[in-house]
Structure 1
């Protein structure tokens, strides 16, 4: 095992012990897919841990394990398809609703809380006296215990400005001396990017993160539930191939010659 992997596992063990001894939630920095595989193997091998698996709909079960003495663990990156995720440890008494948005918890999506933010033009709820419809929806913000937050970066020129790449944003962030583990997924928009970060560096970025490349940025700190993951376009194709060789499949799906596939 490489030295970096040993350090990672030692850090994870330390976070688990802190959670168990102090009876408080702890978390690692963002882990990439290889690091997550190591962390997952560690969690599965530790019988004092209950590793919560993500359901197909991107939510987590919220089991009641009070009195069991076990620590719960889960990987969370801000949204269902997140590639980079932090490993969060929760003591037995903790409820997931204290750390994750309701949209990430099975059966909690329809909770009504005073903290819900009204947003217009979402769901019709009542008819006004003049016969028009009043449309209001409630967005449930992430609880205070959530270790992640969202930085919305807007390019100075708006949608018409030069579109920056993932490399532009990541390079400029690391140029500020920020470690990679403090930065989660970066989702590019037409007018900027949604950048998931550890909550502890959000204020620093708001003050110091002014440019990506040569493009000026305007930043705002937003709730993780305001993340814009974009629209995924899926095209279903039906074709007949001579065999299930990979080059045949790639050639068919992407309309390429077999030599290029």
Structure 2
């Protein structure tokens, strides 16, 4: 790969860039589609950027439903016509005693990861406020069904469902526009949730903030396009567009915001 590609992304993203290049090479050599694991929006953006440099290749992203955050990608030659079945995603209801227990996204994810699988095999976890569903890679779904018997201290099991049974997620994102003095993590959090910079810094350092589903303790972490930030007790944000700077030198952002 052209080493100059790396300069457009973060240094910690280099291993993923190399993985994408391996997928591209595999498609070119075998002249057949390659299906990725579930990608977060930032990874999908990197993949799209690299695949678009290959004039003979195409790609399609799908996460089980239209508004999915985490998606699998099919990279394929020009001749290929992909179908929904090519993405090998299965939908499951989480069956649990609703009268006696309250579940959360974190509890469900933790229990699924606790079966010994990688996060990359799991898509979105959605809820209508009471019922919960999860999208899982087909190649690992039977194993998870057998292994998952509890979520926290609550008995639970996964029941396969058809795509026509997908829940209407309760959470709804709002689109907002704002300006920030910098893309530092603590600065963006402070601006969007109207708290002090010091409070935002404390949230990060106390491991209450995740960037693209990974905990970070770096207040000076510089955010970029399509990063998703989760702040415990406050909500989530996604940087959807970086429009440039104002006359006063501030950065203009378009964001998706989910306030708790």
Q: Please, what TM-score do these two structures have when normalized by structure 1?
A: 0.58
CA distance in structure 2 between the partners assigned to 1:146 and 1:197 by the alignment: 11
1:33 aligns with: 41
CA distance in structure 2 between the partners assigned to 1:146 and 1:250 by the alignment: 37
Question: SS state of the match for residue 172, structure 1?
Answer: helix
Quick one: which of 14, 17, 22 aligns to 1:9? 17
2:90 aligns with: 149
Question: SS state of the match for residue 170, structure 1?
Answer: helix
CA distance in structure 1 between the partners assigned to 2:167 and 2:118 by the alignment: 24
Conserved 8 A contact 2:35-2:87: no
Identify unmatched segments of 5+ residues in structure 1. Answer: 49-69, 101-142, 236-243, 252-261
* Number of aligned residues: 174
2:62 aligns with: 76
Identify unmatched segments of 5+ residues in structure 2. Answer: 1-5, 181-189, 195-260
Bigger CA radius of gyration: 1
- Give me the CA root mean square deviation: 3.0
Q: CA deviation at 1:199?
A: 0.9
Q: CA deviation at 1:170?
A: 0.6
CA distance in structure 1 between the partners assigned to 2:27 and 2:165 by the alignment: 29
Q: Please, what TM-score do these two structures have when normalized by structure 2?
A: 0.58
2:26 aligns with: 18
1:93 aligns with: 79
Conserved 8 A contact 1:31-1:181: yes
Conserved 8 A contact 2:145-2:158: yes
2:137 aligns with: 198
Conserved 8 A contact 1:150-1:222: yes
Conserved 8 A contact 2:58-2:75: yes
CA distance in structure 1 between the partners assigned to 2:147 and 2:47 by the alignment: 32
Question: SS state of the match for residue 21, structure 1?
Answer: helix
Q: CA deviation at 1:91?
A: 2.6
Conserved 8 A contact 1:83-1:185: yes
Structure with the largest fraction of strand = 2
Q: CA deviation at 1:11?
A: 1.3
2:112 aligns with: 173
